[in-house]
Structure 1
Amino acid sequence: MHNDLLTIGPLTIHGYGLMIALGIVVAYSATLYWAKRLHLQSDHIASLIIWCLVGGILGAKLLYWTTQVKSILQDPMILLNFTDGFVVYGGIIGGILAGYLYCRKSNLNFMQCFDLIIPSVALAQGFGRIGCFLAGCCYGQETTSWFGVVFPASSFAPSGVALVPTQLISSVLDFLLFLILVFFAKKKKAHGQVAALYLLLYSSGRFVLEFYRGDIIRGNVGMLSTSQFIAIILIIISIGMIVISFKKLSLRIT
């Protein structure tokens, strides 16, 4: 919960940025490792990852701006702040769209590539949520439970009160999801099933965890937060992907 980890002269290493960078490096390395095991062209995979990363960053920023329209109209300078203000779901959607475009351009099997990359996405998210905890963003509601965390005044979270550590809960769930996906990838019957399982499990967990979030800056759609609304859509899509994959598999068998 201390974001300033190390200061060397004018340079300060922030925990949030360090965890994001570490997550990207580990996820990139893991994806290249699995691509080699599957005998996929590493140059294509490296380019695909870069496309997904850029698309993810743009998507995360665009969705954040969408939830902050009123604030932006009052203060347009918000648009010039590129260091914070990202929505994870925007990153997921933006990364998927960018990956799809690259696969179409390069004549790659999108669902196969989707399955390849998505476990690493969960892995990167696990590190990223640790960064959120260090910075104090994405914090939880006030609580009197034993696991409540009190953040310092220097963090984004309210100080002096115990809060549900939603960042750490998210991190643990992301790492667990990574392990589940890696295991399932060895058992899958058709391309797209690993990706569908990620969307189903991540969205389900995120929908529930949103009830314990304490930051209200993320916007809402009716009684649901923006993330809960998107989670419902992605759960429906993931179920559809699973059904379609099994139908295709049954047609091959028959």
Structure 2
Amino acid sequence: MTYLHDIDPIALHLGPVQVHWYGVMYMLGFIAAWMLGRRRIRAGRLPGIDEQAFGDLLFYAMLGVVLGGRIGYILFYAFGDFLKNPLMLVRIWEGGMSFHGGLLGVMAGVWFWCRRRRVHFMDAMDFVAPLVPLGLGFGRIGNWIGGELWGKPTGGSWGVIFPRSLPDPYLHMPMQQLRELHAKGALDVFARHPSQLYQAMLEGVVMASVLWWYSSRPRPRYAVGGMFALLYGLFRFLVEFVRMPDEQIGYIAWGWLTEGQLLSVPLIVLGVFWLWLSRRQPTLQPAPQAS
């Protein structure tokens, strides 16, 4: 059975101001990171750091996500469009954020915070890693609501029909007409994998569960960060097989390798390296804060 994607990307209309679901999902991700981070701080997972210092860390990480994610998207996926329209850099509400760019931005923000606080960079990265997956999951739900980053055709009688992915003349038809055609089964041939929901499950629910469990007991330095990099790299690489490549880039090689897969390979390698490196690293012991 197919589903016609028919969701308004605008969450609220406040006069001339429109609040997009995409932005709401980012806010939920930051709130989740704040709540989980406070819990880890109180459990002493980053000794010597109180909630105020954690607030500073989260601020720099959030700044890194937004700036790195947007700049990374421009550099990796839409540099040609940026040269034609530089203002697209600030139109974050329209979508278009790169995880890999966001990760580099977070690492830069964490590094800056660590220099000021004299904390080992990897201790902070290991602390932050379990806070990230829920935000990734919310972000993918934002992609789903926005009807972007859809998957490949299912080739069957199931899947999701994304209006923006339809060919002419369907692409410019009003939604009411598309609903009527869908009710007749005329659009079933265009059904696609809801790859956004696959990623929300893997990058959000599964990664959050595994990393929270894995970090619930003291681990050697590099271990939690390595597990994060490995899991994300593997999950992203696999989902790309059922996700459409970016239209302006297409496949890079062999008729299947995508930009997302190419950018995920270094993460897989880094994750394996950090996990290997963790075998001879010290283990940071929790120092719970007094209530």
TM-score by length of 2: 0.77
> Equivalent of 1:69, from 70, 76, 79?
79
Instruction: Tell me what 2:67 maps to.
Output: 58
Q: Which 10-residue stretch deviates more, 6-15 or 85-94? A: 6-15
Instruction: Tell me what 2:286 maps to.
Output: none
| Consecutive unaligned residues in structure 1, runs of 5 or more | none
Instruction: Tell me what 1:108 maps to.
Output: 119
Instruction: Tell me what 2:242 maps to.
Output: 212
Say yes or no: does 1:92 pair with 2:92: no
Q: Which 10-residue stretch deviates more, 28-37 or 184-193? A: 184-193
> Equivalent of 1:42, from 43, 47, 51?
51
Write the deviation string for residues 39-74 of structure 1: whole angstroms up to 9, x where unpaired.
631111110111011112111111111132222334
Q: Residues 67 and 105 of structure 2 are in contact (CA less than 8 Å); yes or no, is this contact kept in structure 1?
A: yes
Say yes or no: does 1:246 pair with 2:279: yes
Say yes or no: does 1:179 pair with 2:209: yes
The aligned amino acid for 1:228 is: Q
Alignment of structure 1 residues 232-243 onto 2, 5 Å: 232-243=265-276
Instruction: Tell me what 1:117 maps to.
Output: 128
| Consecutive unaligned residues in structure 2, runs of 5 or more | 172-186, 284-291
Q: CA deviation at 1:221?
A: 8.3
Write the deviation string for residues 169-190 of structure 1: whole angstroms up to 9, x where unpaired.
1111121110100110124431
> Equivalent of 1:18, from 24, 29, 51?
24
Q: Which whole-Å CA distance do the structure 2 matches of 1:112 and 1:76 have between them?
A: 37
Structure with greater contact order relative to length (CA < 8 Å, sep ≥ 6)? 2
Q: Determine helix, strand or coil for the equivalent of 2:281.
A: helix
TM-score by length of 1: 0.87
The aligned amino acid for 2:243 is: R
Q: Label 1:218 to 1:32 Cα distance change in 2 as closer, same or farther (>3 A).
A: farther
Q: CA deviation at 1:103?
A: 0.6
Q: Label 1:134 to 1:176 Cα distance change in 2 as closer, same or farther (>3 A).
A: same
Say yes or no: does 1:229 pair with 2:265: no
Write the deviation string for residues 192-228 of structure 1: whole angstroms up to 9, x where unpaired.
2111101001110101111211252474784232221
Q: Which whole-Å CA distance do the structure 1 matches of 2:228 and 2:125 have between them?
A: 10
Q: Which whole-Å CA distance do the structure 2 matches of 1:103 and 1:218 have between them?
A: 38
Q: Residues 100 and 110 of structure 1 are in contact (CA less than 8 Å); yes or no, is this contact kept in structure 2?
A: yes
Q: Determine helix, strand or coil for the equivalent of 2:160.
A: coil
Q: Label 1:212 to 1:247 Cα distance change in 2 as closer, same or farther (>3 A).
A: same
Q: Residues 245 and 259 of structure 2 are in contact (CA less than 8 Å); yes or no, is this contact kept in structure 1?
A: no
Say yes or no: does 1:163 pair with 2:163: no
- Structure having the higher helix fraction is 1
> Equivalent of 1:78, from 88, 111, 120?
88
Q: Which whole-Å CA distance do the structure 1 matches of 2:31 and 2:110 have between them?
A: 18
Instruction: Tell me what 2:182 maps to.
Output: none
Q: CA deviation at 1:135?
A: 0.5
Q: Residues 64 and 218 of structure 1 are in contact (CA less than 8 Å); yes or no, is this contact kept in structure 2?
A: no
Q: Which whole-Å CA distance do the structure 2 matches of 1:218 and 1:206 have between them?
A: 19
Q: Residues 139 and 215 of structure 1 are in contact (CA less than 8 Å); yes or no, is this contact kept in structure 2?
A: no
The aligned amino acid for 1:227 is: G
Q: Residues 222 and 277 of structure 2 are in contact (CA less than 8 Å); yes or no, is this contact kept in structure 1?
A: no
Q: Which whole-Å CA distance do the structure 1 matches of 2:149 and 2:282 have between them?
A: 40
Q: Residues 236 and 264 of structure 2 are in contact (CA less than 8 Å); yes or no, is this contact kept in structure 1?
A: yes
Q: Which whole-Å CA distance do the structure 1 matches of 2:250 and 2:277 have between them?
A: 31
The aligned amino acid for 2:259 is: T
